[in-house]
Amino acid sequence: MKIKMNRLKNLIKTNELEGKRIIVTGCSYKPIEHVFTNLIDGDLSHDSIFVESEEMKINIGTATAFSLAAKGATIHMVSRSIERLENIKKAIVETLNISPKKIEYSQVDLLDEDEVKNFVYEIKKDKPIWWYQSIGLGAGAYKVKNDNPYLHIEDIPTELLEKESQIVLRGTHILMKALLPIFKNQFEKFGCETRIVIVSSMSAVRGYALGGTHCAAKGAISRYTNAAMLDFYKKKIFVTDLRPGAIDTGMYDNEFVQKSILEIDDEYNGLWREKFRLAPPISVGESAAQIFTNSGHITSLNLVAEGQFPHEGS
């Protein structure tokens, strides 16, 4: 195995997002239970931080917090674990050598309307606020059997069908409604547009037999995002649907998920039995930085690992 290139430490620092406060939800990490390597150079496909000397795989929200902090933004991270948020803050500040003042965090249950209202009331409004939404089922939001949402139709518990769509849609809509009055005012107040990125998934646009819950849930958030984009662009609020493929955040570490993924890949090119193909979380962070700094409006962005089935639509 190759020595891992430290992609987080090597992020190029710029000031392109200086003066923006970006809310990044779903920031977390997981212990490493399986190690995957990239198809092309054999480098490790996860990005990691150390928590009390234990190496942890970072997820999409955390990687994005790193990428946007490197571009000079003030980051406001959100999840339900204050301890994990504090550890992520420490890792970002130490790795990127930036001021701790630029990394803020709040413990918020995004399904709780009162908590969300309070969070939006309390957040500092001295800079334009932008938003990156990356919540999912992970980290105990709802216990999926074997942590595997990729199931044949006959095996899908009805509750999972409801929960997977409901958590992400409800958590997004509640925060959207709470932030909208701020967003609508930002052009007048600061003379700048508002940008929003919502993470759905490639599973929103391509189908597979084991996608009865996952494709349905990702399709729902993707269509919601599309409606928001069409509703808000007239108000100088620009929304992007970011659709990652398989990303090495730990969700593929367990054998049940791996077995399902191999079955899914068999419907495409069937190459994963040779080698799994997962993109690093920082690749999604880099895409977010591109979307937030682009002088145009990127309406949607699809991203897969090198060598993952790149099919859009099934």
Interacting residues with ligand NAP (CB under 6 A): 25-26, 28, 59-61, 79-81, 84, 108-111, 134-136, 138-141, 167-168, 171, 199, 201, 244, 246-247, 249, 251
Q: How far apart are CA 29 and CA 47, in angstroms?
A: 10
Question: How many other C-beta atoms are found inside a 10 Å radius of the C-beta of residue 280?
Answer: 27
Q: How far apart are CA 216 and CA 158, in angstroms?
A: 13
Residue whose CB is less far from ligand NAP, 81 or 185: 81
Smallest distance, ligand NAP to C-beta of residue 182, A = 19
Smallest distance, ligand NAP to C-beta of residue 225, A = 12
Distance of CA 111 to the CA centre of its chain: 17
Smallest distance, ligand NAP to C-beta of residue 189, A = 27
Smallest distance, ligand NAP to C-beta of residue 201, A = 3
Residue whose CB is less far from ligand NAP, 11 or 23: 23
Smallest distance, ligand NAP to C-beta of residue 59, A = 3
Range 45-59 burial, b when 16+ CB lie within 10 A, else e = bbbbbebeeeebbbb
Residue whose CB is less far from ligand NAP, 59 or 165: 59
Q: How far apart are CA 31 and CA 54, in angstroms?
A: 8
- Residues 279, 302 contacting (CB under 8 angstroms): no
Residue whose CB is less far from ligand NAP, 186 or 199: 199
The structure tokens listed for 118 are 């309070």
Residue whose CB is less far from ligand NAP, 26 or 219: 26
